[in-house]
Amino acid sequence: MIQRIQSLYLIFITLLSGFFLKGSFLKFNKNSGSEIYLNFRGIWETTLAGNPHMIISLIPLSVIMLTICVLSFAAIFLFRKRRIQLKLTLSLIILTIAFIGMMLYYLFWVIGKYHSELIPGFKMFVPLVILVFGILAYVGIKKDENLVKSYDRLR
């Protein structure tokens, strides 16, 4: 059913991953005064003149976040097929962990290569929130699956 709590968690994952696709999620200040930021399409550097240019395209990060968004949206409507919903939610958790790992890699890569400082922001914690909601959705779906199995044993 759509009114289950794990469906709300999956809706939150869909909304947060869609929100994450917009704008930059990591920002850095270089010693020279320019700014480096990571967004959905890649790593960009903005010079003092204000002209941004792309340093590296981040296609794997983009694909992973789009996949998280699509899978969480699809898992919402698989409430009658709990086993498939459970597998999709587990894959969401694994993809989110991979995304966090890749984001941390690029974070340390930019800091090391460009000798820059991280500017803390709200969006850098969104993948952790997505991970927590994914785990909560998995636990809720697993609890429903165990409840249905217990009713089948009583018959």
Judge whether residue 155 has pLDDT over 70: no
From the list 29, 25, 30, the residue with the least C-alpha distance to 41 is: 25
Structural domains in the chain, CATH included, are: 5-154 (1.20.140.150)
| Cβ pair 73, 14 in contact under 8 A | yes
pLDDT at 80: 85
Contact 76, 69 (CB under 8 A): no
- pTM (2 d.p.): 0.90
Helix, strand, coil shares, percent, the chain, to 5: 65, 15, 20
> Long-range contacts of range 123-126, CB-CB < 8 Å, 24 or more positions apart?
123/20, 123/23, 123/24, 123/25, 123/26, 124/25, 124/26, 126/16, 126/19, 126/20, 126/25
pLDDT of 120-141, one tens digit each?
A: 988 999 999 999 999 999 999 9
